Amino acid sequence: MKSNLLLIFFALAGPVSAQKSVKAPSNFIFIPMGEAKVESQMVAVDAFFMQSHEVTVGQYSEFLSQLKEQNKNLYKDCYPDTAKWVSLFTYSYNQPFVEHYHKHPSYYSYPMNNISREAAQEYCRWYTQHYNSSKEAMKRGKGVFRLPTQAEWVRAARGDNHNWIFAWEGPYLKDKDCVKLANFLSVNDANISRNAEGEVIVITPMQNTGAKQFITSPVKQFKSNFYKLFDMCGNVAEMVSDCESVRGGSWYDTGYELRVDAPGDHLPVPSPMVGFRMVFVPSTGE
Tens of pLDDT, residues 31-51: 999 999 998 999 999 999 999
Name the DSSP class of 255: G
Predicted confidence pLDDT, tens digits, the chain (286 residues): 444 444 444 433 333 333 346 788 999 999 999 999 998 999 999 999 999 999 999 999 999 999 999 999 999 999 999 999 999 887 778 899 999 999 999 999 999 999 999 999 999 999 999 999 999 999 999 999 999 999 999 999 999 999 999 999 999 999 999 899 999 987 655 556 567 776 656 665 544 443 334 689 999 999 999 999 999 999 999 999 998 889 999 999 989 899 999 876 677 789 999 999 999 999 875 5
Taking the C-alpha atoms of residue 118 and residue 268, their distance in angstroms, rounded to an integer, is: 9
Question: 245: buried, middle or exposed (CB in 10 Å: 19+, 13-18, 0-12)?
Answer: middle
Please enumerate, as own/partner, the contacts of 4-8 that have beta carbons within 8 Å and a separation of 24 or more: 6/30, 8/47
Distances (CA, A) of 119 to 115, 129, 277: 6, 16, 13
Q: Does domain 3-282 match CATH 3.90.1580.10?
A: yes
Choose among 12, 7, 13, 11: nearest CA to 30: 7
Distances (CA, A) of 266 to 16, 97, 114, 153, 272: 43, 20, 12, 16, 10
In sequence order, the β-bridge partners of residue 28 are 51
